[in-house]
């Protein structure tokens, strides 16, 4: 089975509509540029039990999951604590993270023309941003040096934790992909072939879809209904996707099946994935 990629996007501000999420579409774009695809995504508010449960599922999924948001040090940032609880390990200050955070604080103090005071309460508190689940590794942050972190899953996958700020998160995601998953890039060629089917309901198409899944090894059959399309009106997009050879070998069975039920369909659309 191909390694799956997923996303967890965290924050009450997303669910309330105060901020619009940009991470999902960007992650899809970053993966697609490398010949990869997103298999699942989940939005979660700042709710510790729900987030802990979601992260526990991620650690058990044997998937690569990118978690966006909640890794700061304010009271509404719960991600670090939930990740540790989901893994059953304590939080621990990561020495390399602490060094990077202190370096950032020195830089800020120098920019302001101030003396860096490491023992000042607010500076001590900032070090909590380097308090990661025990055993975590850091993800460098090229924007302001405050790192994210990665934790290995229990089934061979991993969860990579980045900030909610796109200007920081997206370069960090790219670096993780390029550093750790390059052997997976642009694997065997994949293809999607589909047509628009008119005047027939999904229930009528279901037996054909079930048959196609038994014929084509490694393909996925899909149907996407539309009831009020501005150009085509009511229709169903019916198609198959998967390895190029399997899709091309199965396609005649799809067309033959449409013939057998007296369907009317559009010109074929082919997308190489």
Spatial distance between the Cα atoms of 162 and 36, rounded to a whole number of angstroms: 20
For the residues 225-236, what does the mean pLDDT come to?
A: 91
Residues 136-184: tens digit of each pLDDT: 999 999 999 999 999 999 999 999 999 999 999 999 999 999 999 999 9
Helical pair 79-87 and 48-59, crossing angle rounded to 10 deg: 50
At 100, give phi and psi (nearest 5°): -70, -40
pLDDT of residue 186: 87
pLDDT tier for residue 272 given thresholds of 50, 70 and 90: confident
**pLDDT confidence bin for 46, thresholds 50/70/90:** very high
pLDDT digits (tens, 9 = 90+) for 53-84: 999 999 999 999 999 999 998 888 999 999 99
Taking only Cα atoms into account, the Rg of the chain, rounded to an integer number of angstroms, comes to 24
The answer to whether residues 91 and 80 touch, using CB atoms and an 8 Å cutoff, is yes
pLDDT in tens, 12-44: 999 999 999 999 999 999 999 999 999 999 999
pTM for the predicted model, two decimal places? 0.84
Q: What is the pLDDT of residues 242-264, one digit of tens each?
A: 999 999 999 999 999 999 999 99
The structural domains of the chain, ordered by start, are 5-184 (3.40.980.10), 190-272 (3.30.70.100)
Q: Residue 188 above 90 pLDDT?
A: no
Beta strand extents in the chain (DSSP E only) = 5-10, 38-44, 64-68, 91-93, 131-133, 137-139, 148-152, 158-162, 190-198, 220-229, 233-243, 264-265, 269-272
Q: Give me the pLDDT at residue 68, please.
A: 98
Nearest to 198 by CA among 237, 170, 164: 237
Residue 33 burial (CB count, 10 A): 12
Tokens of 187: 């694997």
């Amino acid at each position: 089975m191909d390694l799956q990629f997923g996303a967890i996007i965290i924050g009450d501000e997303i669910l309330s509509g105060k901020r619009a999420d940009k991470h999902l579409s960007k992650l899809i774009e970053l993966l697609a540029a490398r010949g990869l695809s997103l298999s699942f995504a989940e939005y979660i508010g700042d709710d510790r039990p729900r987030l802990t449960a979601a992260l526990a599922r991620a650690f058990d999924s044997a998937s690569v999951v990118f978690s966006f948001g909640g890794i700061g040090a304010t009271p509404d940032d719960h991600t670090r604590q939930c990740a540790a609880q989901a893994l059953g390990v304590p939080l621990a200050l990561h020495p390399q993270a602490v060094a990077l955070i202190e370096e950032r604080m020195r830089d800020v103090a120098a920019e302001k023309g101030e003396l860096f005071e490491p023992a000042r309460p607010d500076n001590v508190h900032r070090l909590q941003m380097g308090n990661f689940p025990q055993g975590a590794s850091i993800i460098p942050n090229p924007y302001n040096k405050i790192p994210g972190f990665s934790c290995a899953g229990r089934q061979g996958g991993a969860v990579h934790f980045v900030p909610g700020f796109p200007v920081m998160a997206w370069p960090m995601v790219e670096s993780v992909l390029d550093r750790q998953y390059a052997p997976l890039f642009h694997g065997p060629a994949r293809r999607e072939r589909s047509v628009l089917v008119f005047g027939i309901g999904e229930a009528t198409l279901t037996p054909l879809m079930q048959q196609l899944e038994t014929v084509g090894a490694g393909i996925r059959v899909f149907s996407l209904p539309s009831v009020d399309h501005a150009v085509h009106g009511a229709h169903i997009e019916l198609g198959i996707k998967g390895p190029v050879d399997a899709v091309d070998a199965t396609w005649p069975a799809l067309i033959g099946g449409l013939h057998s039920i007296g369907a009317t369909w559009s010109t074929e659309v082919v997308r190489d994935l």
